[in-house]
Amino acid sequence: RFVSNTSPIFFKILPIAIAFVGLDSVLKKITSLNSVTFEQDRLRLGFIAKRALEIPYENIRKLELYRKITFYFGISYIDLNGKEKKYTAQASFPHTLEIILNIADMAPKAAIPDQMQSIVDYLKSSVQDGIQQDN
């Protein structure tokens, strides 16, 4: 009724473009990182529409925080088949700094760049100061 064969091409393509943008947004939301769980021996990254990614702490090789238009944090690890892999998520995920601090504490083999190490050290001292103030 709104679009007919006499409508301009713009109005014929517009509903398809809107549907594409909407579908793309929904797919990004359901396949992006949804939860981070620190278990006794591994890190569990949960997603809505994908299987959870479980990474044993001893397999985590490197933590990164870098910028491409927006900030991202990356976890390089060895998967169960012995292959080097990297998981990247937007740093806008809630409590990113606390997540990085916990991973740095629980993954002793993780290499941390100097700039990021200074952030981790600052967070550790802030936590210690908070504990001392509570006592």
pLDDT at 51: 93
- Cα separation, 7 vs 24, whole angstroms: 26
List pLDDT tens digits, range 43-62: 999 999 999 999 999 999 99
Give the number of other CB atoms < 10 A from CB of residue 56.
15
- Cα separation, 36 vs 99, whole angstroms: 8
- Cα separation, 104 vs 17, whole angstroms: 43
Give the number of other CB atoms < 10 A from CB of residue 99.
21
pLDDT at 56: 94
Which regions in the chain score pLDDT beneath 70?
1, 132-135
pTM, two decimal places: 0.76
pLDDT at 11: 85
pLDDT at 119: 82
Query: How would DSSP label each residue in the chain?
Result: --S-TTS-HHHHHHHHHHHHHHHHHHHHHHHSEEEEEE-SSEEEEEESSSPPEEEEGGGEEEEEEEEESEEEEEEEEE-TTS-EEEEEEETTSTTHHHHHHHHHHH-TT-B--HHHHHHHHHHHHHHHHHHHHH-
Give the number of other CB atoms < 10 A from CB of residue 57.
19
pLDDT at 135: 59
Residue type, 86: K
Domain ranges for the chain, please list them.
57-129
